[in-house]
Amino acid sequence: MEVTEASLLLRRRLCDPSYIHSIFKSSPDGNYSKLKFIISNSINEACNNSVLLLGPRGNGKSAVLELVLADLKVEHPGIISVVKLNGLLHGDNNNGLKEIARQLCLEFDLPFSKMASSDENSELLIDILRECGLAHKTVIFTLEEFDLFTQGKQRVLYSLLDALQFLTSQAVVIGLSCRLDADQLLEKRVRSRFSHRKLLFITPLKDDMQRLLEHLLLLPKETNLSSIYVVEFNSRLYKILDSKEFKYHLKKVIDIDNNISNLVMFLYRAVCSMDLKSGFLSLENFKKAISYFHPYPKQESLRNSSILEFYILVCMNRLDAKEQISFNFNSIMNEYKAIMDAYKTSDNYTRNVCLRAFEHLLERGLIMLTDNNVRCQSIEFRPVKSLISPQELHQALKAYNPCPVLLLKSFNNECFK
């Protein structure tokens, strides 16, 4: 019973984005503190603001924003209203303005007209922000996938940022994007109204990573679990976290995809495989968790390749290993012919068959043409490059059954001397 409760506790933590990122709330230089200061300043000083939260997916932009909004709603009850937009759904000018009007009408118990035009919705937005300013209420607009709002005429962004120019309005516009150049996508008229505040969300550094691991996996002392079990569980966990083998597996996870979401998924799998009989996490749990991660994303595509397609990929890797700057289908055929002549194998296909296999690799996105010269009709003379790394190809060859000995030998001779 005690072990099951501990397992459920850990899994609940790992499924709660707010808990995961709450460890960084105490840092005065963290994004949580900076974002909270910007919004608090708008609320307390009755001024308008706009800010961009930028960074790769999975590093906590949305989670930190939700944490900040939840805390501010507690500190300023009845003062904050939130309007949420997403570029995937509301990137279109008409849909965006209509959704803003709908959410504002719902928030302030006003009648909403589905037949209202974009101009009418823009006027409604300005009127409501003016009334909110007079009532000392702040409206916060959150725009997920901010870069998608920059497509087209950017009327949604212009309407929002232009409304912030009125002294009577009181609002904050917060954009979230995985594109670091999102602010450069803005039109001149929109950029001139943007306050150019940006917060960058990156993967935690080494010390912060250690704090995060302990925050997520250590059992709390104030709990229904027995103190003896908690002390023993935490003691064993500290030893695992300090071991070289765990750090090696952790580095592999980070190398695959360097973000917090990927790390949390790794820890969740480890917790799910915890032995309920012993009641403790072990290094074997983390070893098992790493097996679910695929460091070579094109493995599935390579799995269905023919022997001839593998030969073409091997020839391309051999040419890369020889540091040949540019090559085309003819160069690949010369390398293929050299292998066939050297080993006198029966895997000797005609040029036309090889060309069809080459075109099939292009269609599947395993190789690509490197020029934009669409006028050149003959694909045989256009430069090409492989999108498969030597490590990915090596793993695919070892997994291929049956893989001709000559094929693996030809690859190893050039790539792994």
CATH 3.30.590.10 fits 14-200, yes or no: no
CA separation for the pair 201, 142 (Å, rounded): 16
Question: Diameter of the chain by CA atoms?
Answer: 87
The mean pLDDT values, 10 residues at a time, for the chain of 417 residues are: 88 93 87 94 89 92 94 92 93 89 92 90 90 89 94 89 85 93 90 90 85 93 87 94 91 82 92 89 90 69 84 89 82 89 79 92 88 69 86 81 78 57
State the distance between the two ends of the chain, measured CA to CA, in whole angstroms: 55
The residues of the chain that CATH labels 1.10.10.10 are 299-415
| pLDDT score at 370 | 83
Backbone torsion region of residue 76, taken as left when φ is above 0, otherwise alpha when ψ lies between -120 and 50, otherwise beta: beta
Please report which helix (H) or strand (E) contains residue 140, including its range: strand 138-144
Beta pairing class for 138-144 and 197-200: unpaired
pLDDT of residue 415: 44
Rounded to the nearest angstrom, the gap between the alpha carbon of residue 128 and the centroid of all alpha carbons in its chain is 35
Which sign does the torsion angle of CA 112, 174, 37, 183 carry? Answer: negative
Q: Which phi-psi region, left, alpha or beta, contains residue 156 (left: φ > 0; alpha: ψ -120 to 50)?
A: alpha
- Answer whether 388's CB lies under 8 Å from 315's CB: no
Q: CA–CA separation, 347 vs 351, rounded Å?
A: 12
Determine the pLDDT at residue 19.
93
Please state the length of the chain.
417
Integer Cα distance of 182 and 52 in angstroms: 8
Q: State the span(s) of the chain assigned CATH 3.40.50.300.
A: 14-200
Residue 238: which residues within 8 A CB-CB, separation 6 or more? none
Hey, what are 410's tokens? 């030809």
The pLDDT value given to residue 63: 94
Amino acid letter for position 141:
F
CATH tag for 299-415 (out of 1.10.10.10, 3.20.10.10, 3.30.360.10, 3.40.50.300): 1.10.10.10
User: What angle, 0 to 180 degrees and rounded to 10, lies between the N-to-C axes of helices 61-75 and 31-45?
Assistant: 40
CA distance 116 to 126: 15
C-alpha to C-alpha distance for 140 and 51, rounded to whole angstroms: 11
The residue with tokens 């300013």 is 133
Query: 384-386 and 367-369 as β-strands: parallel, antiparallel, unpaired?
Result: antiparallel
Contact call for residues 249 and 286 (beta carbons, < 8 A): yes
Residue 54 contacts residue 182 (beta carbons within 8 Å):
yes
For the record, the structure tokens of 103 come out as 């959410």
Task: Find all residues with CB under 8 Å of 260, minimum gap 6, and list them.
Answer: 20, 21, 58, 59, 60, 203, 204, 212
Which helix or strand (DSSP H or E) is residue 128 part of? helix 118-134
